[in-house]
Structure 1
Amino acid sequence: MRIGVDVGGTNTDAVLMDGSAIRAWTKRPTSADVSGGVAAAIRAVLEEAGVAPDAVGAVMIGTTHFANALIERNKLDAVGVLRLASPSGEALPPLTGWPDDLSRRIGDHIFLLPGGYEVDGREIAPFDADKVRAAALELKARGVRAVAITCAFAPVNAAMETRAAEIVAQEHPEARVTVSSAIGRIGFIERENAAILNAALAALAASVMTSFERALTELGIAAPLYISQNDGTLISAAQAAAFPVLTIGSGPTNSMRGAAFLTGVQDAIVMDVGGTTTDIGVLANGFPRESSIAVDIGGVRTNFRMPDILAIGLGGGTRVHLDPALYAAAEIPAGVLRVGPDSVGYRIAQEAMVFGGATLTTSDVAVATGRADFGDSAALPDFSAAMLTATWARFQAMLEEAVDRMKTTRGDATILAVGGGNFLIADSLKGAARVLRPQHAAVANAVGAAIAQVGAQIEQIIAYDREPRAEAIERMRRDVTEQVVAAGGIAETVQIVEVDEVFLSYLPGRAAQLRVRAVGDLAGLPIDEAATRQVQHAH
């Protein structure tokens, strides 16, 4: 059995799964310390199912800790940045374009050092070990323990980053070192930004993982802990502590993977309606479509793997702005009705009208129209049919516009409606061939965490005149398979889910950027596919 947990800004959701069957699920308020809410949610599903803690084989958690830290500029470490790209890489210094409040938290601990490579692998300048050593000693003297090492075209050749990391570890043993080649893609500035953000989160990540593991120990669960990452697969708690930025987009990704599992649909648009926003993403072969452009994280451009997500200001707690004098109006004039983007969020139980509050929210409208049933409908004002029709139509127009923005092909798409606020999605939408609302849709995010597989990805630039294309692809398939197995995957279940090839016309010869991604079932916890299909069809 496995437990999946997804920590959101409003609720912490948990499910207990036995193979493909959901034995118990719960929604609990997210606590200030987060780990307390996680422990409460896990305890609740164990008690509901009557399952002993020692029967749990693994725990998977998706957390908003690190995304929130970046957004709120909270609990971030100062970072020493060692850029190996001089002299040519000095025109645009590190942290250029960063928000002022965030760059102040990171600090001015920047060292521009010789090194780096051209796109074809030639050195820009020789590596200077003495200068790296001096930088490490200076950071140690300043008390800076987070270090980001970046090198021009490190994904092509990571040797200089590796040597620099070894020297920093020798001279500054207490430092937590992030090398950019382990996180980002070819683009230098975005990859450097991702490495710096990761370094800034490293101490927080270690603390969070320790608190999660402590919570499991206190519950009597000795099972291994895994953390959901941005592409819908799992990494160990130790890996998450080392690479927290790889988990920032796990919330929407978990919902998408859970939606695919609960419906059996592998290609669709997923709408995950939470308390504040609706996150919309695209499923391709059961996995989230990745963003092909630089992703903005906390105001900083990065290029590591992130799901292609569109978030709109429509959720269960979103405020509906309308003059109370028009609640009973026979006609709503154009331009006077506004929906969001502000939300009452976790205060919905106190502020929404159905709970005795004075704020008109989307949930109040859903209850008044009979599309949701919670709270006290008698507490609602007398809304006119015109007001309810106009407001509901506005909700659907926002959703339909979002569907059009996410579609990449002509024709209608299948929509999977999940999340606690999925009642805001009508049973039919323009641009949708059908709208599916699976059983357990409210906790699809926790289901996605529970059923997640181990994954790995390799990206390299290959010169086909030096290594034949077929041999290069086969070598990378073997390498990525070995990485999945090393991460805890079952070798027999490993599947190559993506081979992406982009030819680079600006390089001599026949060169291409190759990316190979693989997934596999977690050792000891494979999900029976036949049982999965039976459960999905029953839904």
Structure 2
Amino acid sequence: MRIGIDVGGTNTDAVLLDGSHVLATTKAATSEDVTSGIVRALDSLRAQYGFEPTAVTGVMIGTTHFLNALVEARHLAPTAALRLGLPATSSLPPLVDWPPRLTEAVSGRSYLAHGGHEFDGRKIAEIDEDELRGHAADMAAHGIRSVAISSVFSPVSDEFESRAAEIIGAELGPDVALSLSHEIGRIGLLERENATVINAALRELAAGIVDGLAGAVAGYGICAPLYLSQNDGTLMDLEYARRHPVATFASGPTNSMRGAAVLSGVDTCAVVDVGGTTSDVGVLQQGFPREAGTAVDVAGIRTNFRMPDVLSFGVGGGSLVTGGAGEVSVGPRSVGYRLTEDALVFGGSTLTATDVAVAAGLADIGDRFAVAHLDGRLVKEALGAVAADVARVVDSMRTSSEPLPVVAVGGGSVLLPDVLPGCGAVHRPEHFAVANAIGAAIAQVGGEVDRVYAIDQGRRAAVLDEARQEAVDRAVAAGADPSGVRIVEFDEVPIPYLPGNATRVRCKAVGDLHHV
């Protein structure tokens, strides 16, 4: 048996699975200390299905704690950004494009040093160890507790980042956390560097959150391995999560999308996850979220680590319904977590999308007599406005003229009609309200290669095979069963503005967890 848990800002959803069979599901309020909310969710699962903790073979958790910390600029460690690239790159120093409030929140200090590589591995300049020791002394004097190290084209050669980490670590001691950009981001210096600085700022928080999650599960008597969900729909172990908290940022929408695939049996589709305040729309390809092909802004910071291509907009169960018949609008304003106090069906005085759903007979919650007076035309137009908004976003996510099946999940998906205008039938699978927890429970392990290769004449096939094998090896090293690893994504893009037949190769392999 597996347990999947998704810790959101408002609710903690949990599910108990035996293979792909759902044994129990629950929603519990998320607690500030993480631990007690998870324990309540486990208690609820056990009340529904009396499992023995020792029978659980794996626990998979998705959490938004790290993203929320960045957005709210809290619990961030004093962080330094060290870039190896001089004499190049000095015109745009580290943190140059950060919002001032976040730079202040991380007590951000930036440093430039000699080093870096060209795309083909040639060195820009030799590393200067004395220069790095001088920077380390300044970091220590300013109370820096976490360091992000980036080097030009480090995804091609991590030589200088690794050596700089050794020097900085020796100077500052074992208590200072080090994050290396070649482990986090992709080609693109500023975006990769930004992602690494974010990761470094969250390292201290990550240790506390991960220990809290592990303590909650172990305290319940569950001895099974614990994994956290990543942005791409795969899993990572606790040690990796401590080092790379940034990899969890999009685990919520990703888990919902993966859960939609397994619940509906449709592995290539648009997924609409309707929550209380917003709706997220993404696309599944072969059961995995389509990744964003361009840089992604996170809390106003431009980054390029793995993130799903998701569009969010302000329509959900708590959205305000305004205007009268003939001019109805739904959202983007919402009552949010006050839904159970402000909505008409709960004794409040605010007309929300949930009230409209109850009035239309789409949901049976609260007091349906409290919305019996609503004008039928208003109800119909409000639901039509929701459907039109969702259909417009789904249509914008298509990359071809072929129709894209639509799967609706999340508690607010009752607002959607059975057929979306221009999109066709809507699949609303069983257990749609806890698709996020199911997505966490069925997640697999992945490995990825994203690198620029200089491909010599006659060597193309060998280079591509090498990339595929490295992706498979990384998946196996992360805990995948070697017998079932497969390639799910492969891109080969020539880069004409670089010499030497430069080609960017991106390959992703996934497989089921070994012995779970």
Q: Same fold (TM over 0.5)?
A: yes
Tell me, yes or no, if structure 1 residue 355 matches structure 2 residue 359: no
Q: TM-score, normalised by structure 1?
A: 0.93
Contact map agreement 2:34 2:209 (CA 8 A) in 1: no
How many Å separate the matches in 1 of 2:452 and 2:114? 23
Deviations 1:205-225 (A, max 9, x none): 111000001111211111111
State the SS of the aligned residue for 1:392: helix
Residues 403-431 of structure 1: per-residue CA shift (max 9 Å, x gap): 11111111322100101111011100122
| Match 1:414 to one of 405, 415, 420 | 405
User: Which 10-residue stretch deviates more, 38-47 or 260-269?
Assistant: 38-47
Separation in structure 2 between the aligned mates of residue 104 and residue 258 of structure 1, nearest angstrom: 38
2:291 counterpart SS class: coil
Residue 318 of structure 1 corresponds to 319
Cα shift at 1:301: 0.5
Match of 2:472 among 481, 491, 515: 481
Provide the rounded CA distance (Å) in 2 between the counterparts of 1:235 and 1:381. 49
Cα displacement (A) at 1:43: 2.2
Partner of 1:446: 437
1:467 positional shift: 7.5
RMSD over aligned Cα, in angstroms? Answer: 1.3
Q: Which segment drifts farther, 516-525 or 480-489?
A: 480-489
What corresponds to 1:426 in structure 2?
417
Contact 2:256 2:439 in 1 (8 A): yes
CA distance in 1, matches of 2:472, 2:402: 36
Q: 2:362 maps to what in 1?
A: 371
**Counterpart for residue 164 of structure 2:** 164
Q: CA contact under 8 A between 1:254 and 1:444: conserved in structure 2?
A: yes
Alpha-carbon distance between aligned partners in 2 of 1:428 and 1:176, rounded to the nearest angstrom: 51
Within a 5 Å distance, the mapping from 1:121-136 to structure 2 comes to 121-136=121-136
1:472 is matched with 463
Query: Which ranges in structure 1 are unaligned for 5 or more consecutive residues?
Result: 327-331, 526-539
Offset of 1:232 from its aligned partner? 0.2
The answer to whether the 8 Å contact 2:268/2:283 transfers is yes
CA shift digits 1:31-79 (9 cap, x unpaired) = 2223321221122112311001111111100000011011111111121
Moved more, 156-165 or 503-512: 503-512
CA distance in 2 between counterparts of 1:33 and 1:316 reads: 27
Pairing 1:68-79 to 2, within 5 Å after superposition: 68-79=68-79
Pick which of 68-77 and 378-387 moved more: 378-387
Cα contact 2:445–2:512 (8 A) shared by 1:
yes
Question: How many matched pairs?
Answer: 515
One-letter amino acid matched to 2:277: T
Partner of 1:216: 217
Secondary structure at the counterpart of residue 94 of structure 2: coil
How far the C-alpha of 1:333 sits from its partner, in A, is 4.3
Instruction: State the partner residue of 2:278.
Output: 277
Q: Which moved more, 1:468-477 or 1:266-275?
A: 468-477
Structure 1 position 392 matched with structure 2 position 383: yes
* Contact persistence 1:413–1:431 (CA under 8 A): no
Identity of aligned residues (%): 49
CA distance in 1, matches of 2:360, 2:338: 22
- The residue aligned with 2:181 is 180
CA distance in 2, matches of 1:349, 1:62: 25
Amino acid at match of 2:275: G
**CA shift for structure 1 position 381:** 5.8
Q: Secondary structure at the match of 2:491?
A: strand
Alpha carbons 1:276, 1:318 under 8 Å: kept: yes
Q: Which moved more, 1:81-90 or 1:114-123?
A: 114-123
Name 1:151's counterpart in structure 2: 151
Distance in 1 of aligned mates of 2:271 and 2:101: 34
C-alpha distance in 2 between matches for 1:64 and 1:240:
13
In structure 1, how many angstroms separate the alpha carbons of the residues matched to 2:72 and 2:372?
37
User: What do the CA deviations read for 1:423-451 (whole angstroms, capped 9, x no partner)?
Assistant: 01110012223211100111111000000
Residue in structure 1 matched with residue 204 of structure 2 by the alignment: 203
The answer to whether the 8 Å contact 1:15/1:26 transfers is: yes
Structure 2: runs of 5+ lacking an equivalent: none
Deviation at 1:342, TM superposition (A): 2.2
Counterparts of 1:88 and 1:256, CA distance in 2: 42
Range with bigger deviation, 378-387 or 450-459: 378-387
Q: Letter of the aligned partner of 1:238 in structure 2? A: E
Give the conservation status (yes or no) of the 8 Å contact 1:77–1:106.
Answer: yes
The alignment's TM-score, normalised by the length of structure 2, stands at 0.98
Alignment-derived partner of residue 534 in structure 1: none
Q: Which runs of 4+ in 1 moved over 3 A?
A: none
